[in-house]
């Protein structure tokens, strides 16, 4: 039997395997607020290479990483951009965050939360969702373009997908 871990603020469910959840006191994590463990405007969710749950928060403008077995906050860091929405984690544990608005773009952060790169190809208009392919290329869903942008490791545009 698998155990769901739920976030009541963002209405997200993550299914955990049976092994390793014996100490799980509650299957709910996060509550509305600004403090450690709180969430405000959770918009994107991803799983890091250690199996922890990362959440990007639109209103707190941060990424917060939660222990998948106990639901407590392990770390959080501020992110740049007006409205952070998309989140992905690459195979090296780096976080990729998309944000839209005045300062839109794709930003890559170290596993410790340090800003490494900011990418904004000329064709990018309104990035929302994010994904990282196994080879490190990035994908950003662009609402205004009605397509997804496939980006190289350096953030340069390869092509549109779905256009």
Residue 105: what are its φ and ψ, rounded to 5°?
160, -175
Q: Which two structure tokens, joined as six digits, stand for 159?
A: 């092509």
pLDDT in tens, 18-73: 444 444 445 566 778 898 989 999 999 999 989 999 999 999 999 999 998 888 89
Rounded Cα gap, residues 148 and 86, in angstroms: 13
Q: Which residues contact 47 (CB under 8 A, 6 or more apart)?
A: 14, 53, 54, 68, 89
Task: State pTM to two decimals.
Answer: 0.82
User: For residues 113 and 70, is the Cβ–Cβ distance under 8 A?
Assistant: no
pLDDT (tens digit, 9 = 90+) per residue, 87-102? Answer: 999 999 999 999 988 8
Place of tokens 């392919």: 133
In sequence order, which residues have a C-beta less than 8 Å from that of residue 37 and are 6 or more positions away?
A: 29, 30, 31, 64, 66, 72, 73
């Amino acid at each position: 039997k698998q155990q769901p871990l739920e976030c009541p603020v963002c209405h997200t469910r993550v299914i955990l395997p049976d092994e390793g959840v014996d100490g799980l006191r509650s299957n709910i994590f996060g509550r509305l607020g600004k403090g450690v463990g709180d969430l405000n405007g959770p918009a994107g969710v991803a799983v890091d290479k250690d199996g922890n749950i990362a959440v990007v928060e639109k209103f707190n403008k941060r990424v917060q990483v939660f222990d998948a077995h106990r639901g407590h906050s392990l770390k959080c860091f501020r992110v740049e951009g007006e409205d952070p929405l998309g989140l992905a984690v690459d195979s090296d544990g780096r976080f990729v965050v998309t944000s839209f608005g005045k300062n839109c773009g794709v930003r890559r952060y170290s596993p410790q939360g340090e800003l490494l790169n900011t990418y904004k190809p000329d064709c990018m208009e309104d990035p929302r969702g994010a994904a990282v392919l196994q080879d490190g290329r990035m994908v950003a869903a662009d609402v205004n373009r009605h397509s997804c942008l496939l980006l190289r490791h350096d953030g340069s545009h390869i092509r549109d997908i779905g256009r």
